[in-house]
Chain A
Amino acid sequence: MPWDRNQMAARAGRELQDGWYVNLGIGIPTLVANYIPKDVSVTLQSENGMLGMGPFPFEGEEDADLINAGKQTITELPQTAYFDSATSFAMIRGGKIAMAILGAMEVSENGDLANWTIPGKLVKGMGGAMDLVAGVGRVVVIMDHTNKVGDSKLLKACTLPLTGQGVVDRIITNLGVLDVVKGGLKIIELADGVSEEELRRATEATIVNAKEAE
């Protein structure tokens, strides 16, 4: 069985290392906050101006002045710090954030990421995604391996406008985990019950053999 949203988020949770400052994107990446390993302490950044993002508030305790980058009401923690947007992106651009976990529409075999617009259809804007992929130490994307009609979203070259060029380090899909390496994508792990053949068939991007990637 391929992984579902929560299993993908749980797998992404294992990417987190103790002491890291991390930014989680909107959508499935937000769920990763529920799967931070018990022995790992990470600080979540919200790019609208907060380090130390806490869980959603209890009903009746929502505060209009306290939201995350997805505009959802959230809470603070004892170690929380607030700052303005210029400071927030200075720490992103300055490489202080160890990792960003983001959603994707397409990823190419050289690590190009497209996740912000579908010309003529979806014109909402890139928000902070372009700054994040250009600035953080490591970019992990969580995405479905294929679209609704079964076409690969891991491509030789992206067809949609890019968010960043050569920026993706690791891809977690419903079928498994792949790294962007020289020459293409390398399979790191298969989802439970998914065969390598199945993953290869669902992938347009070049998959390099483990040996070639060494």
Chain B
Amino acid sequence: MSKVQASAADALADVIRDSMFIAAGGFGLCGIPELLIDALRQSGVRDLTIASNNCGVDDFGLGVLLANRQIKKMISSYVGENSEFMRQYLSGELELEFNPQGTLAERLRAGGAGIPGFYTRTGVGTVIAEGKEHKEFEGKTFILERALVADLAIVKAWKADTSGNLVFRKTARNFNVPAATCGKICIAEVEQIVPVGSIDPDHVHLPGIYVHRLVEGKHEKRIEQRTVREREVA
């Protein structure tokens, strides 16, 4: 059975349904599954709950699903780059669950690793700890955080072989690995799909066991904050 799909829309067709829970990879606009996000937009699927560190910008990334009113709830650590997000949240149209960034990453990782929860120091004594179990270990207080298991994970890698082994590039790896592992179904979009044997097995970042479907396509890879330094003139 081939994992390779003709398009992002094909890969999603028999998977998506209203009110589903999706985990999405990416940090800011870096390493986001932009083809799958666009296919979700075109599908019109609604009332989504999405776990993603950020929510794109107004006209790119997950922001396009917000603009289209397809998201019911976000689980994120930072949403400061998106004015439509703020508008929908402050007017009560959008639910928001803030998670500390490392807690979010670990909730996804734990979900994929079959661990239902974990204790962490992060957030002790803050609003994040409210309503959560507190427990002492060696004289220090920890809170219980629950794992996340998603109906669907959408991630972006640089390269895949046809068996689904993934290779990421630079800081575009970010949340893509933990998000991929926590999905009951994981669809990965990549810049290139190569034959098996083309990736050194020692260089695989995420083994194909976690990846159920693959889509190859052209990526815009938009830069959010272009910062440069002056060349020194000799």
Contacts and interface: CB of A to CB of B under 8 A. Distances in A.
A127 B170 contact: no
Contact of A48 (B80, B108, B174, B223): B174
Contact of B31 (A55, A65, A89, A163): A65
Contact of A164 (B103, B125, B169): B125
A187 to B, nearest CB: 26
Nearest to B223: A64
Contact of B101 (A84, A123, A128, A161): A128
Contacts of A82: 168, 170-171, 173
Interface of chain A: mostly helix, strand, loop or mixed: loop
A147 B167 CA distance: 47
Contacts of B80: 124-125
B66 interface: no
Contacts, number: 180
B163 interface: no
A146 interface: no
Interface stretch (A1-9, A130-138, A178-186): A130-138
B101 A85 contact: yes
B109 interface: yes
B227 interface: yes
B188 to A, nearest CB: 14
Contacts of A134: 120-124
A84 B176 contact: yes
Given A85-B175, A131-B100, A59 B29 contact: no
Contact of B178 (A50, A85, A129, A161): A85
Contacts of A165: 124-126
Contacts of B122: 93, 130-131, 134-135
| Residue of B81, B158, B178, B226 with most partner-chain A CB within 10 A | B226
Contact of B177 (A56, A85, A135): A85
Contacts of B228: 56-59, 61-62, 73
A126 B171 contact: no
A88 B169 contact: no
A49 B169 CA distance: 11
A174 interface: no
B223 A62 contact: yes
Nearest to A163: B126
Interface of A: 46-50, 55-59, 61-68, 70-74, 76, 82-90, 92-93, 112, 123-131, 134-135, 161-166
Given A48-B171, A123-B90, A163-B126, 17 more contacts: A50-B171, A58-B228, A58-B229, A62-B226, A62-B227, A64-B223, A65-B158, A65-B221, A67-B27, A71-B28, A71-B224, A84-B178, A88-B102, A92-B102, A93-B122, A130-B102, A131-B102
